[in-house]
Amino acid sequence: MSAMRLRRFGTFAGGIVLPDSKDATLGAPIVPIGPLTRLRVPLAPTEAEPARPLVEPGQAVSHGQRIAQASDARQVDVFAPLAGRVAGIGECLLPGPEGTWRSSPAIELVELDSVGRIEELSCHYTWQSADEYSIRLRIAEGGVCTCRPPVSALGGWIERALAASVETLIADITENTPFVTADHRLLAERGSEVIRGLAILARAVGARNVMLAVDHRRTGAYRAAVGPARLYGIEPIALPHKYPIGAEAMIVKVLTRREIPPGGTAMDVGVAVTDAATCWLTYRWVACGEPPTARVVTLSGPALHRPGNYLVPFGAEIEELLALAGLDAQAWGVCGPAMSGQLATAGAVTGPGGNAVLGLHPQQAGPPTQCIRCGWCSENCPARLNVAALNDDFELNRPTQAARRGVLACVGCGICSYLCPARLPLSRRVALLKRAIRQGQSRSRDARDAAQKH
């Protein structure tokens, strides 16, 4: 009957059902963001060395012009998101790992054109008949990044996938955190492009199984778009909406029954995970030759007056976006999903990895008190960690003990903090433990390397 026949899959232990809170933007079509006064286009969208600028201050640039050249294979070229004039080289902040802000040099553009609608481009590269090698070359030329954090160059991502002989490619469009609808709208409106982008990625990484995982509550919106998926050997799958099914470790476990070892990534078990935004940008670049300069960002939350799904050029300042969307005074601007995002600061800009900017009312919760051992954190932790014991390890400063408990398996979902009746900032403490362990490991590795040299 329907064009989209969906295989249904099981679930995982732990996790909770979060309030959906997407009504404001679920049906809102993607529209260009209003006039921007300034862009600070990051020269280091990924964590590698920044790209070298190709433009001088005062120079006029056109939309899509290459304005910086990567000097490192792990970095990407940067293109002008809008026509305008270069004001100079400055700084900007991008979200980094574990809630940090990463500073990156940025090209400041002023006197900007307005943001245009998404153009209907025709495909002029016959990727279906091209061989894998030339597809990979073409991807590596463009400035496409993986849009799922951690952001990295797509060329490097494909190389890592090839090195790990990835068999399964999963496009995760479940998007089950509250408020965020960017990938949902992208798949609903530009589904055929997303599907083709996924097919291109599957060719590039040589994956035999390609899955498109969507939320079972929203399959109706994807019918028209996803119908042709089977033509490309892509299997659409409806997943339950328990949070955090979109986390890499969970979706890999549910779809392939493989468990990622603590501290590892999906590629360690032969799986690559991507999202709708990456597929879309890949298609636009590979098939149509449009460089990646903008992505869909959901502006939403109870403290925003004009929520919606906006096409936002890279380098738009978060503060300006929040002002355009009408943020309440005293409210918080949050970069990223409400469960794992971070508070926006001055100088923060949008990059490939940011799918949402939210306006939330500040929490009224009092200060944290002591753990009452209710056990909700451990009961609902999708990584099956005893978070209360990890909290003790944090308070007593025992990172080694925490590592023995398997803290590196944490997927960073934030459920423990969300539920804790004592209001302890558990997910942050767990993140700090992980950081301390990683630093200790890299220190001991350095010491070992140094010892081997002598």
Partner 1 sequence: MHETPHRNTETKITAAAPAGMFGPFLRAPEASRDIFRVIFVAACGPAVAGVVFFGWRALVICALSVLGCVATESLYYRVTRTPALLGRSHAALTGLLLALTLPPFVPWYVPLAAAVFAILVGKALFGGVGHFLWQPALVGRLAATVLFAPPLLARPLLDRPAWPVLAQNRILLGDVTRVDRSARYRGWRGTVARSPADAVARPRPRAFLRQLSLPGAKPPDSIATVLRHMPPAWDLICGAHGGGIGETSTIVIIVAGLYLACRNYVHAYLPGMIILAAAVTVAVAPVRSADGQAWQWLPVAAEGLDVGFVYVAYHLTCGELMLAAFFLATEMTSRPVTLPAQVVFGAICGAGAILLRLYLAFPIPAYAAVLMANTLTPLLDSAVRPRVLGRRRWQRTTDTKHQA
Interacting residues with ligand SF4 (CB under 6 A): 371-377, 381-383, 385, 387-388, 391, 410-416, 419-422, 424, 426-427, 430
Would you count residue 307 as binding partner 1 (CB under 8 A)? no
Report what 273 binds from partner 1, ligand SF4, none; CB cut-off 5-8 Å by kind: none
Residue length of the chain: 454
User: At closest approach, how far in Å is the CB of 380 from ligand SF4?
Assistant: 7
Would you say 216 or 438 has its CB closer to partner 1? 438
Interacting positions 286-305 with partner 1 (CB under 8 A): none
Would you say 68 or 390 has its CB closer to partner 1? 390
Report what 350 binds from partner 1, ligand SF4, none; CB cut-off 5-8 Å by kind: none
Would you say 206 or 425 has its CB closer to partner 1? 425
Report what 430 binds from partner 1, ligand SF4, none; CB cut-off 5-8 Å by kind: ligand SF4
Interacting positions 134-193 with partner 1 (CB under 8 A): 160, 178
Report what 386 binds from ligand SF4, partner 1, none; CB cut-off 5-8 Å by kind: partner 1
Q: Is the peptide bond before 244 cis (omega within 30 degrees of 0)?
A: yes
Report what 302 binds from partner 1, ligand SF4, none; CB cut-off 5-8 Å by kind: none
Would you say 122 or 363 has its CB closer to partner 1? 363
Interacting positions 432-451 with partner 1 (CB under 8 A): 432-433, 435-438, 441
**Per-residue mark of binding to partner 1, 326-365 (x: CB under 8 A):** ------x-x-xxxxxxxx-x------------x-x--x-x
Would you count residue 396 as binding partner 1 (CB under 8 A)? yes
105 Cβ contact list (under 8 Å, min separation 6): 42, 43, 44, 50, 89, 90, 91, 92
Report what 79 binds from partner 1, ligand SF4, none; CB cut-off 5-8 Å by kind: none
Interacting positions 249-278 with partner 1 (CB under 8 A): 249, 253, 259-265, 267-268
Report what 423 binds from ligand SF4, partner 1, none; CB cut-off 5-8 Å by kind: partner 1
Q: How far apart are CA 234 and CA 170, in angstroms?
A: 9
**Per-residue mark of binding to partner 1, 363-382 (x: CB under 8 A):** x-xxxxxxxxxxxx-xx--x
Binding residues for partner 1, total number by CB under 8 A: 87
User: At closest approach, how far in Å is the CB of 387 from partner 1?
Assistant: 9
Would you say 383 or 403 has its CB closer to ligand SF4? 383
Report what 5 binds from partner 1, ligand SF4, none; CB cut-off 5-8 Å by kind: none
Q: Report the amino acid identity of residue 275.
A: D
Would you say 370 or 452 has its CB closer to ligand SF4? 370
Would you say 142 or 412 has its CB closer to ligand SF4? 412
34 Cβ contact list (under 8 Å, min separation 6): 114, 115, 324
Would you say 60 or 374 has its CB closer to ligand SF4? 374
